[in-house]
Structure formats: structure tokens, C-alpha cells
């Protein structure tokens, strides 16, 4: 298991480096720069600004400087939020996105598993079709429709929850964003779980357990263990995605999370901010892939065995 | 059957009880939030929604409208603006100008204080002006105050900071020398580039002086919190000389970049004002929030720039023809839902020192006559049924309203036999394109006043204004008029020259003026002291909130 873990971790560093290099040079291909806005700057002033931020240096030198500061854990100064370093921005935004994302993922896992279970267990009845229907509804309904509807319903009509704002993370302000983030995930988890469980329930070892007269609850547990791998594979990527923030949810609800930095950074050509978000997201994806690999290896000994041979 | 029903009923009752508990808890939560339950007097807080997020609270790094709105609350220049947007004395109680119109003596208020109790001195202004011009600061808008003597050369590193035309005669007297007479100088002074700075805190903390823990301000408010993409919290400055008349205890700016969500938060009472509305929901806003919706003229122009360097737009007749064919009232009313005015002048109306702006000669002529005239002009230029086919590409920064405007204009031009293509890019790409100036046909542009003066619009046509002359317009007569106006000390003669220049610009049409902006605010009837004005500037100093 340890060797399996180490072999996975060794791959992380070169992968991350390639991603950083690609992002760095692709970003510079985009037309315009961080100082382009509706009110064009005096050319001399713009030149001076580029010098101050070392953007006048050759691109390769800039890349080398960036790697050096990154090696010290320094993402550099933000070019748009000029009073902050990218590290300072992330120090406030990342915990917020992680807090919301974790709650949304936990909701998705619990509700999705429960729904999938209900769908799979109700044999041949209307159950699976209901779950399928609800799930498709959850998947196709875009976040930018769900979020305003929730605001209208709970905020403006019922007056029981705030329409938006973060309010230092008060729980009232978290409910609607968490629901919005969780809904599509619930739908996907439910569908995956239902399909995997239906397969698992038809497996020979479950049939054997039934033949031995095991109680239904035990059989379900065994079936769940067999059904989890595809769900876990999906959850890894979904978690990396949800935990690093959603720009739409954050913009509509006015939440100061990570998601907005992707889009704001890219549109405003805030090079350091974009690079920072790329590193964080790439890091999260690699981390969750690693976790998924480990969980899969734990759930299914064949994974460990195959990788060793 | 009955058993099953009973089970369901219990579950339902359980759900109801849960829901009731949830509502009770929430109800309490909201009540405490809005301050109904408390015994002690509740602080008066203005929850203010703004489109956009401040990038910096350093007056020398700030550039956008929202940054300017916040900095106006934190810092007070020599002069400031009242609720109607008029200039009133600020940190300076009075000033005198010498007969040449180039030397100003400002006498500071003896009771002007920083938020730490220090006196605001003439030296603080000298320090701030020098920092603004120092090349190492990299102030993006330093050029607005190139009116100060030697400022431009200092900013370009050709002269030392000490050469700047600003010096402290004593603790409360500031002498400012200008490069040339500039009757608009006083109107430049409320701008964020002309704020004083607390020298000691900047020397102690460097560029970190802006952080809430360090920042020292001299305006009606002090900074308590700045969370990007969330809010800026400001509290009343007890040392402000007029603090006795500041009713607000706190002012909170919320960054609301989704207009529809902003509208919903306004309707829920979470914010008491919002400085924009979603244009696509304008009908709803007008019918449901008529009392709160304030649409008033704003000092901003919306126009298209022709690339006057190349064929066919180097020909004045083509530019005029295209300008005449446009139904501006349709654009203002139908595309922009009445949140814009039809634009027939380059300088928007509403600048006191300029009066009524010049307008295009054909403003009031019959639309059909205009169309015939446009066709005639095009034919003379060699286009039309018996000439070449004219193809035009409109470039614009992507947004629904800009697109709808361009589509409508393409349709209006079709009558002249013109084939129009649309090209949308993201805003940064668009503005970088205008800066680099590869050949183009027509590009969307716009301008908002830095300070209320006609020169601040008309300089967009000056050939030496490399950065902002999007049309690359070159006209010697125009340039010499603008330079004449720049050194003219008499306000009346200056106004006459500028009017003449505007008439020339409108005749030449390097910029196809389409619309003038109107500000569109949602203002709760509870918010007292909020007054509409052309600068769309609303200082918290005059605001109070009715219970």
C-alpha cells in the first residue's frame, strides 16, 4: 500500500509543473494586459506600471521568477486587487469555498446515496424511474436558474432566509448556496449509486448471501461496498470542483469565495491571480485523485494487486 | 391502509414541527439582524450595493468609479462635493488665485483632523501630490493632475519630486502653482488623485498603509474592513470637523456584480440602495419600484469611434452619412429601456461651466430628409447603388446591451445599402485593441467625466492624446482651438472656444455620438438626504435613514 501511495505521489510534481507552464504561457497569449480598461492609460504611465510589476522582462525570465517565488509558497501580488497579495486573497476566500463545498458534498453523498438506494431497492416499480426523472431534472436545471428561484422563494416570498451576502458566514446565509451547489451533485450521485447498486445486487456473492438467508440490512451493506467504486471515482473530481468554488453561485449569492477569482482574474488579465487559481485547482484535483486511488485500493484489493504487478 | 396513512401523518407532523422550529429560529435571527429586538439604540447603517468591486483603496492606485465612491468617504481633498454634486470647501476653508490664474493659495481649516487626531497640514498635501507624481508609485491617473507645474516631467522621471508646483507656506497654507492657467483646476480637486495622505503611516507601513489596521483617513468615515468581492465597512470618523452633522454610524459597500441578484437584495431590504438595475427587467422595475427607481442624467457619453486613418472613414462624408442614419430615440427608449438619452452632442449636458453643449446641425431635421441626405453624401463619396458597396465591421466589448445596440444600428444602416458585420470580444481584448490601434472600421467606446469640465470630453479628439483618441482624429484647427482653450484664463472666452471646438468635432464626426448616459439607482424611500446629480456622487455625510 505504501509503495502504491509513493508511486502515485511521485507523479504529482511533474504533472503540476506541466500544468503551471501551460497556464503561464497560454495566459500571456490572450490579448491585452492587466492595465487595459475602458479608460486607457497614458502610454508612459502604462510602461512604468509594467516595469514596476516586472511585466517588461522577457517572458522566460518572468516564468523563472514566478517558479522561484512559487517554490517559496508565494503566489505574488494581485494585479487587480492591488492592496493584496494572491496569498492574502486565498487565505480569506479558500476557507469560505471549502466550507460551502464540504457541506454541499456531504449533503450530496448522503442524499444521493439514500435516493440511489431507494431507487435500486424498489424492484421494477416506479422507484428507479422516479429517481431517474428527479436526477435528470437536477442535472439539466442550470445553477443560474436554481439560485434565483431559491432567492425568490425563500428570500423574497417567504422571508425566512437572506437573499444573498456572506455576513461573516452566518448559517442563514449558507443554506441557499449549499443547496444550490448540492442539487446537481445529489442528482448525479443518485443516478450513479442506483445503477451501481442494481449491478451489485445481481452479483454472485450477493446471491450467495441471500441463499444463506442473511438479513436484508447486511445484504445492503455488502452491496453498497461493491457499488461504491464508481461513485467514489466520480466524487473525487466533483469534490475538487465544488471545494474550489463556483463562480455562478458566488456571484449570485454575493459570496467572497475562490470561484470568482478564476473568472475575474482571467477577464482582467490578473496574471498572478489566474496562476494562483490554476495551482490551487490543479493541486486540489491531484489531491482528490490521490485520495480516490487510495480509497479505491482500500475498497477493492484487485486495484492494489494490479498496480503492483 | 389506515396504518400507513397514520405513519405518513406522523411523519408529516414531524416535518411541520421541524419547519416551525426552523422558522422560529430564523425569524429570531433576522430580527436581531435588522435590529428590531435590541434594547440599546441601534447604529444607523447605510447598506449600499454597488456594481463592481474596489481593486485598491490607495488613492494613487485606484481608477474605477466604485473606488472613487469609497475613497470620497475616507479622504477629503482641498474641496469636496455636497449631496447635489456641487463643489464646496473641503479640507481647505478658502483659497485665492493670483491675477495670472496660475498660483493658488489654499488656507486649510484649523479644525481639519486625521482619524488618529493629528492635524491635517499643508505638508500632507505636498507629500500626497509628490507621491502621486513619483514614477515609483505608478499612479495610473497621475496625468489628470498634470495641471500642476512640472508634474508631467516629474512623473516621467525627468525632474526631481521637489520641483513640483506644490509647497507648504506654513502648517495651514498650501501654495499650488500650475503649468498654465486652468479655470477648471478647482473642479479637478475632488478627484481621487487630489486626496491628502497621512505621511507617517505611509512611511511606517509602505504600501500596506491601506489595510484597515493601519490606514489613517481625514474624511467623514474610517475604514474598518475590506474583504474583496464582499464588502467594505466604514465607520464614522469622530475627528472629522463636521462629525456633528454626520448621522450615519456606519456605511457598508457591498460588491454586487449580478444586477438581478442586486435587485432581489434591494427588494428584500438587505441593501437600501443599488447603483444599477438589470435593463432587461426595466419594465418590472418601473411598475413595481417606481418610487425607488431614480433615472437621472449622468456625465457620460456612449459613442462609436471611426478609424479616421483609413478608407473609407477618412472621408468626412461617409462618417456623416452613417451618423445621420441612426434613430437615437429608438436606441435610448427601445434598446436601453429609457435608461439612456439620445445623444446629439459630444459633451453631455449638465456641466455648469459649459452650459448647453453644441449639437449636430441635423439634430431636428426630419428623419426621411436625413436619410436622403445620408444617401446623397454616400453617393458623393463613391458608395451606393451606382458606386461601391460599403461594408462595415462594428467591434464592441461583449454585453447584451452593446450587442443589441449594434444589431439595431446594423439594421438602420441597411437602408443606406451598407452591409454590417458585428465582432464582439471580451472587454480587456476590446480595450487592448483600441490601445494598440490596428486598422478597424467602427469600434464602440464611451467616456465618463473625471471632473465636470467640457475639456475632459473634448480632449478625446486631440491628436496629441495618443492613449484616448480612439478615432485617431487629426485636425490642426481643432488642436489649436483646444490648446487655445487650455491656456485661456477667462472662463467666458474659454467656454466660447470649447463650444466652437465641439461644433467642429460634431461636423467632422470622428466619433459617432449615440447616447448620453443616465444613472439608474434604486434608492429606498427610507434613505434621506440622497439627491440625484450628474456626477452620480452620493456622500454618506448627508445621508440618514428613517426608521
Whether B30 shows a pLDDT value over 90: the answer reads no
**Residue B278 CA to chain centroid, in angstroms?**
18
Whether A196 contacts A246, CB under 8 Å: no
What is the residue whose three cell numbers read 416506479? A126
- Residue A157 forms contact with B (CB below 8 Å): no
Q: Which CATH architecture has domain B297-519?
A: Roll (3.10)
Judge: B258–A268 Cβ closer than 8 Å, yes or no: no
Half-sphere exposure at residue B89, Cβ-oriented, CA atoms within 13 angstroms: 13
d(CA A39, CA A157): 41
Mutation to test the B interface, candidates A33, A34, A48, most B Cβ within 10 Å? A48
pLDDT at B41: 81
All residues of chain B having their beta carbon less than 8 Å from the beta carbon of residue A272 are none
Judge: B265–A164 Cβ closer than 8 Å, yes or no: yes
pLDDT in tens, B40-83: 788 999 999 999 899 999 999 999 999 999 999 999 999 999 99
All residues of chain B having their beta carbon less than 8 Å from the beta carbon of residue A81 are 55-56, 228
Residues 6+ apart with CB under 8 A from B12: none
Strand spans (E) along B390-474: 391-397, 419-425, 442-448
Helix/strand/coil for B182: coil
Mutation to test the B interface, candidates A45, A80, A93, A272, most B Cβ within 10 Å? A45
**A118 or B104: which leads in pLDDT:** B104
All residues of chain A having their beta carbon less than 8 Å from the beta carbon of residue B257 are 251
Shortest distance between the Cα of A264 and any Cα of chain B, in A, equals: 10
Judge: A82–B56 Cβ closer than 8 Å, yes or no: yes
Judge: B435–A254 Cβ closer than 8 Å, yes or no: no
Shortest distance between the Cα of A99 and any Cα of chain B, in A, equals: 16
CA-nearest residue of chain A to B265?
A163
Its CATH class, for the domain covering B59-212, is alpha beta
Between the CA atoms of B476, B478, B484 and B485, what dihedral angle is there, to the nearest 10 degrees?
Answer: -160
pLDDT at B458: 97
Shortest distance between the Cα of A137 and any Cα of chain B, in A, equals: 23
Shortest distance between the Cα of B369 and any Cα of chain A, in A, equals: 36
- Mean pLDDT over A151-177 rounds to 95
- Percentage of residues of chain B with pLDDT beyond 70: 93
Rg for chain A (alpha carbons), in Å?
Answer: 24
Helix/strand/coil for A38: coil
What are the boundaries of each domain within chain A?
A: 86-308
Whether B32 shows a pLDDT value over 60: the answer reads no
Whether B21 shows a pLDDT value over 50: the answer reads no
CA-nearest residue of chain B to A160?
B26
CA-nearest residue of chain A to B436?
A32
pLDDT at B474: 96
pLDDT in tens, B214-271: 999 999 999 999 999 999 999 999 999 999 999 999 999 999 999 999 999 999 999 9
Tell me the pLDDT band of A226, cut-offs 50, 70 and 90: confident
- Percentage of residues of chain B with pLDDT beyond 90: 88
Of B399, B390, B267, B412, nearest to B331 (Cα)?
A: B412
Judge: B27–A155 Cβ closer than 8 Å, yes or no: no
- Provide the whole-model pTM: 0.90
**Long-range contact list for B3-12, CB < 8 A, 24+ apart?**
none
Q: Which residue of A40, A43, A162 is in closest CB contact with B431?
A: A40
pLDDT at B39: 61
d(CA B360, CA B503): 7
* Terminal C-alpha separation, chain B: 56
Whether B150 contacts B159, CB under 8 Å: yes
Shortest distance between the Cα of B228 and any Cα of chain A, in A, equals: 7
For chains A and B, CB pairs below 8 A equal 153
pLDDT at A304: 66
What are the boundaries of each domain within chain B?
A: 59-212, 297-519
Average pLDDT over chain B, rounded to an integer: 91
Judge: B207–A268 Cβ closer than 8 Å, yes or no: no
The three cell numbers of residue B160 are 526631481
pLDDT at B36: 43
d(CA B36, CA B30): 9
d(CA B512, CA B303): 5
- Residue A260 forms contact with B (CB below 8 Å): yes
Judge: B26–A172 Cβ closer than 8 Å, yes or no: yes
Q: For helices A2-29 and A59-71, what crossing angle results, to 10°? A: 140
All residues of chain A having their beta carbon less than 8 Å from the beta carbon of residue B29 are 170, 172
d(CA A40, CA A207): 73
Q: How far is CA B18 from CA B6, B7, B70, in A?
A: 18, 17, 44
**Phi, psi (degrees; rounded to nearest 5) at B443:** -135, 140
CA-nearest residue of chain A to B450?
A39
pLDDT in tens, A85-138: 999 999 999 999 999 999 999 999 999 999 999 888 876 677 778 888 888 888
Its CATH class, for the domain covering A86-308, is mainly alpha
Shortest distance between the Cα of A102 and any Cα of chain B, in A, equals: 21
d(CA A263, CA A80): 12
ipTM: 0.91
Whether B312 contacts B381, CB under 8 Å: yes
Amino acid at each position: 500500500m505504501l509503495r502504491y501511495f509513493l508511486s502515485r505521489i511521485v507523479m504529482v510534481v511533474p504533472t503540476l509543473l506541466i500544468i503551471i507552464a501551460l497556464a503561464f504561457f497560454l495566459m500571456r497569449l490572450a490579448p491585452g494586459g492587466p492595465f487595459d480598461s475602458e479608460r486607457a492609460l497614458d502610454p508612459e504611465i502604462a510602461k512604468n506600471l509594467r516595469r514596476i510589476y516586472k511585466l517588461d522582462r522577457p517572458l522566460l525570465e518572468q516564468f523563472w521568477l514566478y517558479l522561484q517565488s512559487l517554490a517559496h509558497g508565494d503566489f505574488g501580488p494581485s494585479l487587480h486587487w492591488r492592496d493584496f497579495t494572491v496569498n492574502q486573497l486565498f487565505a480569506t476566500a479558500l476557507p469560505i469555498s471549502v466550507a460551502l463545498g464540504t457541506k454541499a458534498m456531504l449533503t450530496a453523498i448522503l442524499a444521493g446515496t439514500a435516493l440511489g438506494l431507494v431507487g435500486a431497492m424498489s424492484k421494477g416499480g416506479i422507484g428507479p424511474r422516479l429517481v431517474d426523472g428527479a436526477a435528470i431534472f437536477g442535472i439539466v436545471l442550470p445553477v443560474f436558474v436554481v439560485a434565483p428561484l431559491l432567492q425568490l422563494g425563500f428570500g423574497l416570498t417567504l422571508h425566512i432566509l437572506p437573499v444573498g451576502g456572506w455576513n461573516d458566514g452566518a448559517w442563514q446565509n449558507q443554506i441557499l448556496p449549499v443547496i444550490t451547489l448540492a442539487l446537481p451533485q445529489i442528482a448525479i450521485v443518485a443516478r450513479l449509486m442506483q445503477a451501481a447498486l442494481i449491478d451489485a445486487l445481481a452479483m454472485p456473492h450477493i446471491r450467495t448471501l441471500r441463499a444463506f438467508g442473511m438479513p436484508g440490512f447486511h445484504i445492503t451493506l455488502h452491496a453498497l461496498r461493491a457499488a461504491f467504486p464508481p461513485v467514489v471515482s466520480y466524487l473525487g473530481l466533483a469534490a475538487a470542483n465544488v471545494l474550489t468554488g463556483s463562480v455562478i453561485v458566488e456571484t449570485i449569492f454575493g459570496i467572497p469565495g475562490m470561484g470568482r477569482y478564476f473568472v475575474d482574474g482571467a477577464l482582467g488579465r490578473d496574471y498572478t491571480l489566474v496562476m494562483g487559481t490554476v495551482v490551487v485547482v490543479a493541486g486540489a484535483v491531484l489531491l482528490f485523485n490521490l485520495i480516490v486511488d487510495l480509497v479505491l485500493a482500500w475498497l477493492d484489493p484487485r486495484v492494489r494487486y494490479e498496480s503492483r504487478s | 391502509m389506515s396504518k400507513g396513512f397514520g405513519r405518513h401523518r406522523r411523519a408529516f407532523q414531524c416535518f411541520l414541527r421541524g419547519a416551525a422550529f426552523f422558522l422560529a429560529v430564523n425569524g429570531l435571527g433576522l430580527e436581531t439582524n435588522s435590529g428590531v429586538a435590541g434594547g440599546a439604540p441601534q447604529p444607523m447603517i447605510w447598506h449600499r450595493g454597488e456594481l463592481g468591486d474596489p481593486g485598491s483603496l490607495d488613492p494613487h492606485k485606484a481608477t474605477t468609479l466604485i473606488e472613487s465612491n469609497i475613497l470620497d468617504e475616507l479622504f477629503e481633498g482641498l474641496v469636496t462635493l455636497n449631496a447635489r454634486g456641487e463643489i464646496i470647501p473641503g479640507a481647505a476653508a478658502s483659497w485665492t488665485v493670483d491675477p495670472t490664474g496660475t498660483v493658488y493659495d489654499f488656507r486649510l481649516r484649523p479644525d481639519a483632523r486625521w482619524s488618529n487626531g493629528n492635524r491635517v497640514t499643508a505638508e500632507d498635501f505636498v507629500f500626497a501630490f509628490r507621491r502621486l507624481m513619483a514614477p515609483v508609485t505608478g499612479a495610473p491617473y497621475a496625468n489628470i493632475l498634470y495641471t500642476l507645474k512640472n508634474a508631467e516631467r516629474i512623473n516621467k522621471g525627468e525632474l526631481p519630486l521637489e520641483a513640483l508646483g506644490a509647497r507648504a507656506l506654513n502648517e495651514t497654507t498650501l501654495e499650488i502653482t500650475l503649468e498654465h492657467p486652468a479655470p477648471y483646476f478647482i473642479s479637478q480637486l475632488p478627484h481621487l488623485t487630489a486626496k491628502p495622505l497621512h505621511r507617517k503611516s505611509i512611511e511606517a507601513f509602505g504600501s500596506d498603509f491601506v489595510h484597515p489596521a493601519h490606514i489613517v483617513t481625514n474624511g467623514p468615515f474610517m475604514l474598518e474592513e475590506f474583504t474583496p468581492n464582499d464588502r467594505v465597512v466604514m465607520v464614522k470618523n469622530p475627528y472629522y470637523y463636521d462629525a456633528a452633522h454626520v448621522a450615519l454610524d456606519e456605511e457598508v459597500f457591498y460588491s454586487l456584480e449580478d444586477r438581478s441578484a442586486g435587485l432581489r437584495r434591494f427588494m428584500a431590504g438587505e441593501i437600501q440602495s443599488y447603483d444599477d438595475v438589470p435593463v432587461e427587467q426595466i419594465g418590472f422595475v418601473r411598475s413595481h419600484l417606481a418610487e425607488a427607481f431614480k433615472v437621472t442624467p449622468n456625465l457620460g457619453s456612449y459613442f462609436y469611434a471611426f478609424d479616421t486613418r483609413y478608407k473609407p472613414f477618412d472621408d468626412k462624408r461617409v462618417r456623416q452619412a452613417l451618423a445621420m442614419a441612426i434613430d437615437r430615440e429608438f436606441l435610448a427608449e427601445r434598446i436601453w429601456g429609457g435608461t439612456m438619452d439620445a445623444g446629439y452632442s459630444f459633451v453631455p449636458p449638465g456641466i455648469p461651466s459649459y452650459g448647453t453643449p453644441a449639437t449636430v446641425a441635423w439634430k431636428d431635421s426630419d428623419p426621411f430628409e436625413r436619410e436622403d441626405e445620408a444617401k446623397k453624401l454616400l453617393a458623393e463619396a463613391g458608395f451606393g447603388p451606382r458606386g461601391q458597396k460599403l461594408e462595415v465591421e462594428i467591434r464592441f466589448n461583449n454585453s447584451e446591451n452593446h450587442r443589441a445596440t449594434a444589431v439595431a444600428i446594423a439594421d438602420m444602416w441597411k437602408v443606406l445599402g451598407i452591409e454590417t458585420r458585428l465582432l464582439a470580444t471580451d472587454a480587456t481584448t476590446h480595450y487592448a485593441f483600441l490601445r494598440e490601434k490596428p486598422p478597424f472600421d467602427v469600434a464602440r467606446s464611451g467616456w465618463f467625466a473625471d471632473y465636470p469640465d467640457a475639456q475632459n470630453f473634448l480632449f478625446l479628439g486631440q491628436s496629441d492624446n495618443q492613449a484616448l483618441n480612439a478615432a485617431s482624429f487629426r485636425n490642426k484647427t481643432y488642436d489649436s482651438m483646444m490648446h487655445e482653450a487650455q491656456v485661456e484664463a477667462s472662463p467666458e472666452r474659454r467656454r466660447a472656444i470649447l463650444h466652437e471646438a465641439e461644433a467642429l468635432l460634431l461636423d467632422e464626426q470622428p466619433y459617432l455620438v449615440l447616447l448620453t448616459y443616465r444613472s439608474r439607482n434604486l434608492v429606498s424611500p427610507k434613505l434621506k438626504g440622497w439627491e440625484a446629480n450628474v456626477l452620480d456622487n452620493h456622500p454618506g455625510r448627508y445621508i440618514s435613514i428613517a426608521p
